[in-house]
Amino acid sequence: RLIYCSITGFGQTGPYAERAGYDLMIQAMSGMMSITGRPDGTPGEGPLRVGVAITDIFTGIYATTAILAAIEVRHRTGVGQHIDMSLLDVGMAILANQAAGYLNTGAVPQRQGNTHPSLAPYQDFPTRDGAMLLAIGNDGQFSRFSHAVGKPEWAGDARFATTAQRNIHRGELIPAMMEVTRTRTTADWVALLGSKAVPCGPINRVDQAFAEPQAVARNLVVNQAAEPMKYAGAAIKEIATVASPLRLLDTPPVLKNAPPGLGAHTDEVLAGLGLSPDAIAALRTRGVI
């Protein structure tokens, strides 16, 4: 009945099964870095890693799904099983449409910076005080955008009226749009375009993201009492963490315990290994622990 999930860089089979695997290496080998970053021939060109350990995180999520599936199978069969999770498998699975496009057409995906291969305008735009992100995904949104920014003629222009034509003529459309977006601040644009149901938003730093009214309203920061510890010489009694994104309305997840401090369970672990309190105290006196 045992369900056992193993997570390795390359899985239990194949020529790389014995290799160590780390997120950055998997991002490189899976093709993810090849489609992340600025296009060749532009400033800042070259492959880039994703800003978080994305294959580590997604492998954990996929592993959870696999374990739950195995539990359901056990409900029917009474038998558990081994689950073989690989960072490389997951890294290539989350290439999603990029992988599907290559496998079915043979066209190798290229880096496009913040643009989209089939949607335009769908990228960052300069503003008077920085930049914003526009994600216009259909013709109705583009029409509303055009009228909101005082360029209704764009919506009726055959070059820009449809998603397909905007994609073909993005070289003409995007520079013209940038001239317009530079005339107002990011906050002004977000307020105006948001009121017209045009998808847009600021390009936040992490501190700005946590300060967003929506993040505050959703209580995305959870403060937890922590076991006393020191960090950079200061006493830490509370640790802030990100709330679980799993919003089960009847049984919401509760974060009960903050991460333990360094060495918080040393005595407990050593006692479990058979060391007496005196032996543990002696190790501490000698600076071993």
Share of the chain above pLDDT 70, in %: 97
Which of 127, 140, 118, 115 lies closest to 199 in space, CA to CA?
Answer: 140
Average pLDDT over residues 215-226: 91
The pLDDT of residue 157: 97
pTM of the full structure: 0.84
Of 23, 40, 56, 267, which one is the catalytic site residue?
56
In this prediction, residue 58 has a pLDDT band, given cuts at 50, 70 and 90, of very high
* pLDDT tens-place string over residues 161-177: 999 999 999 999 999 99
The pLDDT of residue 224: 84
Which of 187, 5, 168, 158 lies closest to 80 in space, CA to CA?
Answer: 5
Sign of CA dihedral 7, 11, 13, 19: negative
The least confident of 6-15, 61-70, 256-265 is 256-265
* pLDDT tens-place string over residues 242-275: 999 999 999 998 887 777 777 888 999 999 999 9
* 250 noted as active-site residue: no
CATH of domain 122-202: 3.30.1540.10
Domain residue spans in the chain?
A: 4-105, 122-202, 204-258, 260-289
* pLDDT tens-place string over residues 186-206: 999 999 999 999 999 999 999
CATH 3.40.190.10 correct for 4-105: no
